[in-house]
Amino acid sequence: MTNKSKFAAIIVCGGSGSRMNSLIPKQYITISGKMVVEHTIEKFVKIPSIGKIVIVIAKDNEKYIPNISGVEVVYGGATRQESVSNGIDAIEEEDFTHILIHDGVRPFISLPLIEEIINNLNNGEEAVIAGVKVIDTIKKAKKGNVELTVNRENLYSIQTPQGFKLSTIKELHEKYKGKNYSDDSLLFEEEGRRVKIIEGDRDNYKITTPEDLKNAKRDLMSKKCNILIGQGFDVHAFEEGNHVILCGIKIPYNRKLKGHSDADVAWHALTDAILGAIGEGDIGEHFSDKDNKWKGAASIQFLQHAYMLAEERGYKINNADITIICESPKLSQYKKEMKNFTAKALGVSDSKINIKATTTEKLGYLGRNEGIASQAIVSLALTE
Ligand code: MG
């Protein structure tokens, strides 16, 4: 690596707003506490050799921007090429030797891929792009009829970032001013200059369709942290009956818990804790007490459904701690069975579950023995 190389990044977020509509553009949608473009920018901030970040935005979208610190904001032009040009103009040749150009709606760019592009530029390449091999069979069709099947062997889907030597890309943008190339490396191709392609990353997708946005929400929400924590709380009142159900265990008692389902207050708290950890709302959103389907339902269904949502996101129970609060029935002799049954319901080992029972020293509604409350806290660990 030469000591002289200095890198800047341009994050392209749109032009003059010709496609403006009433919806928030995807790059400005907040997911997991930050806008998509902020997630993208965060990656470039983490690369020490990148000394400046410029974000190119449509002037109409200025209202979304004040929250982004540490980046220089430039307005885009009528075309993508003009927008990138405006970004390049904000990078001083005295201070930087190379630039990376990246789409604001690709927040899943990996640090190693950025580093690899930088390394290639350091090794003397003038233009480096990332691409992934086309997997699907590609056919050319006209008016609903297939004309031919394209040999996909040497075909790549091109991603960003694309990295360039600053002096050359400046010169080419000047030379091809007024044109509208969709991709900056095309300028190098027009000139017959070498463009190096390196293996991209399928996770580095561009958020384009509503489906992409749905996937991005899932990926940004839950794949950020190795550990997620959630807590749950629930109360059920007593009514006439002869047993209560706690953690799936039938406990003889002179009353029962009132509820739409089996009123397993402990598992409801645990279900809410799991839903909380993965940002999936609460038990009522998933299993409405207005829905007859859940009348008298066994709460294991709620618990297992919540845990399935966590597993779909790549998480497993790290540990769960449940506290059951009541004056009676006395629970000490059932705690072990409740622990075993909860572990079994989740398919985890007993050691990951803890059950505690306590009273409120005869204070308040629980002290007056009007019902049972439960609290649960859970930690989920990323397994992928
Ligand atoms: Mg409940």
HSE-up of residue 216 (Cα within 13 Å, Cβ side): 27
360 CA from centroid of ligand 1 (Å): 19
Instruction: With CA atoms as reference, report the closest residue to 310 among 235, 203, 225, 249.
Output: 225
Choice among 186-190, 364-368, 375-379 with the minimum mean pLDDT: 186-190
φ and ψ at residue 340, rounded to 5 degrees: -60, -45
Residues making up the chain, counted from first to last: 384
Instruction: With CA atoms as reference, report the closest residue to 263 among 247, 275, 276, 285.
Output: 247
Q: Above 90 in pLDDT, residue 59?
A: no
pLDDT tens digits along 294-331: 777 899 999 999 999 898 777 899 999 999 999 999 99
pLDDT of residue 64: 82
Task: Judge if pTM exceeds 0.75.
Answer: no
18 CA from centroid of ligand 1 (Å): 50
352 CA from centroid of ligand 1 (Å): 23
Are 267 and 303 in contact by the 8 Å Cβ rule? The answer is yes
27 CA from centroid of ligand 1 (Å): 38
In this prediction, residues 28-44 reach a mean pLDDT of 87
10 CA from centroid of ligand 1 (Å): 51
31 CA from centroid of ligand 1 (Å): 29
Cα–Cα dist 8/99, whole Å: 5
pLDDT tens digits along 261-305: 899 999 999 999 999 999 889 999 888 888 787 777 899 999 999
268 CA from centroid of ligand 1 (Å): 5
Are 197 and 156 in contact by the 8 Å Cβ rule? The answer is yes
244 CA from centroid of ligand 1 (Å): 13
pLDDT of residue 384: 56
φ and ψ at residue 333, rounded to 5 degrees: -75, -10
247 CA from centroid of ligand 1 (Å): 12
Instruction: With CA atoms as reference, report the closest residue to 116 among 49, 186, 183.
Output: 49
pLDDT of residue 22: 46
pLDDT of residue 40: 94
248 CA from centroid of ligand 1 (Å): 13
Are 94 and 27 in contact by the 8 Å Cβ rule? The answer is no
Neighbours of ion ligand 1 (CB under 5 A): 234, 268
365 CA from centroid of ligand 1 (Å): 16
pLDDT tens digits along 83-137: 999 999 999 999 999 999 999 999 999 999 999 999 999 999 999 999 999 999 9
Residue 142: which residues within 8 A CB-CB, separation 6 or more? Answer: none
258 CA from centroid of ligand 1 (Å): 9
Band (pLDDT 50/70/90 cuts) for residue 17 is: very low
326 CA from centroid of ligand 1 (Å): 15
242 CA from centroid of ligand 1 (Å): 19
235 CA from centroid of ligand 1 (Å): 6
pLDDT of residue 223: 55
pLDDT tens digits along 235-259: 999 999 999 999 999 999 999 999 9
262 CA from centroid of ligand 1 (Å): 9
318 CA from centroid of ligand 1 (Å): 23
